[in-house]
Structure 1
């Protein structure tokens, strides 16, 4: 196998803000490259790039004057639109901006850069948003990590929407994932400002090592799957580097008030989903640098107390859940039952033929699959909400790149023969267009399919070939399986720092990251270790606030973001000495049905 030398340094010039100042020596050990400072005022603010709630609700993204050559300003506005809509329920009647949350314009400056954790081969993005209303007398930084594998603005609706209106600086990291896609066909990738350039550009954000086979180098690489760094193992360090960058950015923004240090600046970490896992991993790190943590629906892995790795239950769900759901009634729509039932029944047949379930007809086969899921810890509530992930083929979309990431495989080495490319009308790989490539950074979610990039299965011989291969990487004994499991073991969580207040929030109906596998065992382990962890379990809440705009989901489920903001309010008040930390609660909510969300539906715990 020949290694093609596509990897280049992001920049030969390294810039560290305030790196020579002795007062920040402890925080300045990280060198930040390709630093950019931009101003955002008037119709281009920090929080929504001037779109406001009406612009964010628009069904089409902000237009580009030249689709093949968008400007950094256009790309930023479009990225904010995409990430807001991917995380928050902005639909009328959902309560955003009325009962909770803010999209008010916040003027200020952005400091962006690349940082690299020790031992990593690829950088991660860091970004500090500094509002003009930042109070140097009450220094606060909210540090966050993107949910899923989203780009640098992936937590704007979580941390930005809470911190910026309060005058706090907000620090972000894409935690080694993000939307810095690289087109192997064109030899082009994404630069620091989001625009596309050739492989030898000085500020390229990601350029992969690639394996050249008989068919040559082709397709699309992205950082989470193809960095060879197993970024999830370093999530906590990514978060701390983002906080360090925020302090140095504040030194540059307000030199008359410098130094900004962990000793004189309040730092609260918050994140949801993968971002929630990242801030919990940051809580493990040595040093008194964090003041509090709020983590919602966290992807966090502990081996004890019933904990399961994301890869384990994802690959199980990818195989069994379509069949198992046939055993259940009253599934949320979409997917439309009449359309998917025949496909799910065929999955049952294939599973039976493979010897993975039992039964002589669809009903008994579905019950067999359902029983297997329940026996491994899935609740009916999680299975029911998981129908959405089945409908969007999300289980496979997650499992394919995570296998590559955990095994530290280079592009072209996927253990199950998958790659990524644009597809033509016959679903065959093709070269991406200039316009598609130009919009990847702003429009993609960091995990294909999406933004014109799809999973390609090389020469499948059976309907379950890829899914069984992915599952065998968890259950089997091959060299590839051992390699993947080694990477998963590197992501195990430890105990948070003693004395650090932590609030964990999780929807009881979460069907993507069930709390029985993640937050519940984490909290139990942390409390057994004497750590100060408070736990809110929210009934009738699932994983995706953004899908509550679908009528049936909005009628059944409550958003989780109101509880994140409320927990942040209470933690902030506690740090001010004016309030108590939240107490453990199982929150019995009331679905809103066909009406608009009301405060009573949320049943927010009393202070």
Structure 2
């Protein structure tokens, strides 16, 4: 009994299920050693509040955003509610007719508005070798059956916070009665107001006190004061400035979240030992665990499956995963009778900095004249970008070439040199307008290089800007800062904080409206974007010359950081499903899902259980399919989200009923055309158990073969 009490007192064992284990004394349930501080637990009744919708229900998620009683001092519950609302709607189209309430949504399969009762556990954790905290959360619905335990991982998509996968893996897992384990993977809001030293607690409330927060920059008070005197009103952001390259550890974040989930489940359902301890009864051996999520979260679960040495994960189901496959040019990729792709598996930073540099010009090509929402891009700025690229000999055009010739060549470069599929072209302009390639380029260059906010990589910083005063730096309003936990997507521009070009003509200016030194007019800070491109490719983006000094050192650090995030392709035979939209213009398929499929076939061969489903007329951001965004979107594209849920269903059936996974295939969806017609099964055919030969995706003779 003394040994049992001693083990119960040791709450910091690294391996939850192995602490104090010998033949005579089975292991006790212990708080994993990577958990930092207290674990906060909240119970939700499923009536006034709940796990999935924060009490809003399916109808509330589709309605107006919830408000704060006191905008300057929102409560943790109010911040959670708005965070769930915003994160759900950022990834799921909740408009009428787009599939919400028919194919997906909290209300589908529910007797009411989809509220789910249960317990929520949240804490900080760290990885060995770093003291930078990240957030972990486990949700256990009241429908969880300890006799048939299951768990789904839900690492956040993009750079989102802890609720970033609530509407994707969270919804599917909770409705299945599984525990869902979330992690923000070292990203999330994590904003640090350098002027006031204010940051977010784990519940999103603000503090300037010396206490546990999501992130503060690694600066002494003296260093921060000096920085503020030179660059006032700036912010540091966790993903960009933690100096931890969190993506390198996304797989470990997911594995630790699973261990945390087992600890939580056994605290609830384990065998009591006296009054102070329990023995685990829910273990990896008797629990079905599916690693899941979308985008960056999907990539994180893939990496976790590759790194799973303890048999924690049984299967994988992901959508549009951000995977940077190890470069293996022993195989090629071909779609139909199109060109053979040999230069696949480019890194995220490589192709994204190319999009940041060239897309502003490519928007002006006549073939993009009707691209959805392209009219929102400033044509004058686009023309300036084209002219500057031509002057720098970055376009293959003759002197005096027309704008059309310049823009057409910029588009050619993206398609032919960077492997961007033509199906992705129509969506690239709206992503450029939404500042997606620009924000990814800035954040990931900093993260891969482990740069701090004080480094101001490529003369870029983060601050609020005044749209009425030449987009100059200003203080972020107190109400906007108070809401950041709930409104930010973790990667500025977001929540009122923009990317600022400190070397812009005149004064530090919002990058979007800035003029590079020597430029004839606004050019979207092209010099800063070319600087990021230089760091990504390791040579000067304009001259091709070797980089020198600090820039060369940073480029080398970035290259090392990119190698740290490369995926091995070895899923250890785990049944796995990837679904990806062919029109994905954020994570181009020739550098993500397609080459990962080829790499996996090369590495695992006949032992591979990976299936790849490429969905036509689907892209990365289903939210753009809402009719409020105008023609060319809702009428032309279908929700990839529907096929993500199918992927989860297929992996579940494989693991629980031994149903075979369908062969890899192209899924031929049918856009609805008139948005007055709600989506039906005619638009969204199921992934076929036996696809037609002309629809099968194959790996043969060292080539990934994709049907048109």
Structures share a fold, TM > 0.5?
A: yes
Q: Secondary structure at the match of 2:458?
A: coil
Give 1:169 deviation, angstroms.
0.6
How many angstroms apart in 2 are the aligned matches of 1:222 and 1:391? 22
Give 1:459 deviation, angstroms.
1.9
- Does the 8 A contact of 1:230 with 1:406 survive in 2? yes
Q: Aligned pair 1:207/2:254, yes or no?
A: no
Q: Aligned pair 1:522/2:545, yes or no?
A: no
Give 1:27 deviation, angstroms.
9.1
Matched with 2:311 is 288
Moved more, 440-449 or 215-224: 215-224
Distance 1:134 1:91, change over 3 A: same
Moved more, 97-106 or 535-544: 97-106
Matched with 1:56 is 61
Give 1:514 deviation, angstroms.
0.9
Q: Secondary structure at the match of 2:651?
A: helix
Moved more, 110-119 or 352-361: 352-361
Q: Aligned pair 1:98/2:102, yes or no?
A: yes
How many angstroms apart in 1 are the aligned matches of 2:625 and 2:251? 30
Matched with 2:570 is 496
Matched with 1:350 is 388
State the Cα RMSD in Å: 2.1
Matched with 2:203 is 193
How many angstroms apart in 2 are the aligned matches of 1:216 and 1:326? 35
Give 1:338 deviation, angstroms.
7.7
Deviations 1:359-378 (A, max 9, x none): 31111111221221122211
Matched with 1:418 is 460
Of 245, 253, 269, the match for 2:268: 253
Of 634, 650, 653, the match for 1:573: 653
Deviations 1:540-589 (A, max 9, x none): 11110111112431111111111111111111111112522232111111
Query: What is the TM-score with the length of structure 1 in the denominator?
Result: 0.93
Of 463, 478, 488, the match for 1:444: 488
Q: Aligned pair 1:169/2:243, yes or no?
A: no
Matched with 2:580 is 506
Question: How many equivalent pairs are there?
Answer: 593
Matched with 1:266 is 288
- Does the 8 A contact of 1:127 with 1:171 survive in 2? yes
**What residue ranges of structure 2 are gaps of 5+ in the alignment?**
1-9, 22-26, 108-113, 273-279, 330-343, 505-516, 540-546, 690-708
How many angstroms apart in 2 are the aligned matches of 1:267 and 1:401? 32
- Does the 8 A contact of 1:27 with 1:261 survive in 2? no
Of 28, 31, 35, the match for 1:31: 35
Q: Secondary structure at the match of 1:529?
A: helix
Of 352, 356, 362, the match for 1:318: 356
- Does the 8 A contact of 2:29 with 2:266 survive in 1? no
Matched with 1:555 is 635
Of 187, 191, 194, the match for 1:181: 191
Distance 1:328 1:505, change over 3 A: farther
How many angstroms apart in 2 are the aligned matches of 1:394 and 1:363? 24
Q: Aligned pair 1:304/2:308, yes or no?
A: no
- Does the 8 A contact of 2:579 with 2:613 survive in 1? yes
- Does the 8 A contact of 2:159 with 2:239 survive in 1? yes
Q: Aligned pair 1:432/2:494, yes or no?
A: no
Of 318, 335, 338, the match for 2:373: 335
Matched with 1:457 is 501
Q: Which has the higher contact order (CA 8 A, sep 6+)?
A: 1
Q: Secondary structure at the match of 1:194?
A: coil
Q: Secondary structure at the match of 1:419?
A: strand
Query: What is the TM-score with the length of structure 2 in the denominator?
Result: 0.80
Give 1:29 deviation, angstroms.
4.7
- Does the 8 A contact of 2:12 with 2:32 survive in 1? no
Distance 1:409 1:318, change over 3 A: same
How many angstroms apart in 2 are the aligned matches of 1:153 and 1:510? 23
Q: Which has the larger radius of gyration?
A: 2
Matched with 1:123 is 133
Q: Secondary structure at the match of 2:559?
A: helix
Matched with 2:235 is 220
Deviations 1:182-205 (A, max 9, x none): 11111111112211111402x322
Give 1:28 deviation, angstroms.
3.6
Deviations 1:302-344 (A, max 9, x none): 2224111010000000111122233352666542438644432
- Does the 8 A contact of 2:570 with 2:603 survive in 1? no
Q: Secondary structure at the match of 1:224?
A: helix
- Does the 8 A contact of 1:101 with 1:562 survive in 2? no
Give 1:48 deviation, angstroms.
0.3
How many angstroms apart in 1 are the aligned matches of 2:501 and 2:395? 25
Distance 1:72 1:332, change over 3 A: farther
Distance 1:259 1:332, change over 3 A: farther
